Amino acid sequence: MPTARASPSPGGSLTEILYYLGEEGRIVAVDSTSNFPPEATAYPSVGYVRALSAEGLLSLDPTLVLGEDDMGPPEVLEMVASAGVPVVRVAEAHTAAGIVDKVRCVAAVLGISAAVAPLVQDLLATDAALTRGTSGATTAAPRVALLLQFRDGSPIGAGRDTSGAGLLQMAGAANALAEFEGWKPVSMEAMSLARPDYIIITERGVNAAGGAAQVLAHPAVRLVAAAWTDDPTERLIVMDGMAMLGFGPRTLGAALELAGRMGTVPGR
């Protein structure tokens, strides 16, 4: 792969990885999901990672376009490549190994694999801590409903084959919403049948709902929270959405934090 002195970075996780590797100086623009670290928002925006424009990308005179696997649309990327600009899409798997592979891929594209080996080892150490803790659990995995936000009055939950499901598996939890696939609205009945021991929701989702108290008062949530024998606020876990679901370097730490809060990693 050719290296680049400058590259738009469509995809929040890749922007995080470039900063994690100390290579943010190569960035000339980011997409709208790139909100961490905060300094990244100062770069020009190329729009949403799945709705890019060839004109917008080429106007930045990049030597490489580096993006997540859902970067698109495909015809735009074909136009950029036809203009002589290499386009690299980084594969994603919603696993700890997938995060490490993503970091290694970016380092390889930039030609700095040897220099960042210690950072990769740090990620592997966090992965090992997760694996040791969750594989040694002596109690049943907690059932968890992970919510992205509320839309039209309904919570949007993580079903099978989502980044949310991958996060829960990493944290040693059982996905209480595994009966459906993808991100879907969750009815009161479905939430009642799911019987989650914990509800995890993004900070953005909580803020849009008007705060944690409003989330707990929502009929679908209130219904399951009534079965919790301790303080409901202890079982409503609010975290940064990109940290949890972006599957960049922070996601391993987010999974480890969640595992500690739910007791799936003993002693944390």
Structural domain boundaries in the chain: 12-122, 143-262
- Return d(Cα 249, Cα 74) in angstroms, integer: 27
Burial 184-193 (b: 16+ CB within 10 A, else e): bebebebbee
Hey, do 12-122 and 143-262 end up sharing a CATH topology, with the first three levels equal?
A: yes
Tell me the average pLDDT of the chain: 92
Element (H, E) at 223: helix 219-225
What pLDDT does residue 133 have?
A: 63
- Return d(Cα 161, Cα 259) in angstroms, integer: 20
Which amino acid, residue 131? Answer: T
Q: Is the pTM of this model over 0.85?
A: yes
CATH of domain 12-122: 3.40.50.1980
Q: CB within 8 A of 33, min separation 6: which ones?
A: 11, 12, 48, 49, 242, 246
For 78-117, how does the pLDDT look when each residue is reduced to its tens digit (9 = 90+)? 999 999 999 999 999 999 999 999 999 999 999 999 999 9
With the C-alpha atoms ordered 65, 88, 37, 211, is the resulting torsion angle positive or negative?
Answer: positive
CATH topology of domain 143-262: Rossmann fold (3.40.50)
What pLDDT does residue 9 have?
A: 80
Task: State both tokens at 81.
Answer: 């490549």
Which is it for strands 65-68 and 87-90: parallel, antiparallel or unpaired?
parallel
